[in-house]
A and B are shown apart, each in its own frame.
Chain A
């Protein structure tokens, strides 16, 4: 499906459950509320026209200014050869979203990584142990924008001295 067809198809299928975002370099992007994610993903996988069988990438994103935190899902369909960019935006205080590893097993490690680096809780995750950080890590969630670590020095914005 071309990106335009995909956009209209998704708008038609999910109606008010999704909210269109500016496209990511040609890839249609949509915002989904956390409570709708499971339903949307079920349709995305099972609908024969959409058929998103592959999850190439999943990552967190932090917006401290608006006190929001999100998860970005990059989806792809080998059967239909189209991309989709989904994201879930949650309040930053206690972010919680359903785990999509039952749809794409690849999400398992991506979610473990995102959980420990961003502090996002993935409900019903099959194996919610930390993945990358050391076991005794207690310095918070390092990938959040406002994280302050012992040895972490924020570089000044170059070009501002001028």
Chain B
């Protein structure tokens, strides 16, 4: 009864009973988009609150407590505050680019969810090149960060934009390569097939066959979403706020929320490819709805990323590049070669 698939199909049947086929198509697309975006917005708000609470825990504080029980409404209050803020555009900024940068950032972070398997049958479109599509679409973030850094006409944001371009392009390579191992095991680029390939018990999860790939992915993904210790594009102590230094009000909120949604995206990919996606760890636990497993695994990885952030110092920009090209990339290649060899050997 908690499987959302049934609810969605019931709603679909209900709509189909009085709508014509073309109209149904449009209505269902809008409805699905609404549900996904709504879910992600709530999730982002939750993640912001969770991060604040977690950091407070790590730092022997209590964090936000005033707005709602344990401050759960704090991010909503913050978002409302940001909505009312004046939208300041620097005099010398490139106005058009300045406007479009947060929009692109915000929109592209939702696009990855088109082929994200939230649960059994809970997927918007099961593209046969799913993982390739996701990797391609998440790279769009760099364009928006670069646009923001350039358009602000501020030296700090320009440095931040350049840093993020260099960083994301560098880490994109080991990130994609580390995913290849799992793809080779599943013999498919489709997210659903990859998840189904890991069914059964938790021993079938690809993390056991791809431990190196998993570690490489988590490391590269941390860099990909600009989290400490790889948060150099917005390094507060050096660049004040990096690419978004000149942004205020809703535009800033868009960057901010997009950052959290991106963080969830990379964790959801890791959960899908390495931790069995929506599969329960044991067969007898399958009474728990599949989307709960998916969310739980993703949020656990989000927790790990947050843990990193509140523990580690930050790397320097050249150390970061050296780490990507001299350490992660050779390991990623090694991982692919070993995986290919083992697959050839056992199958």
* Whether chain A touches chain B in the assembled complex (some CB pair under 8 Å): no
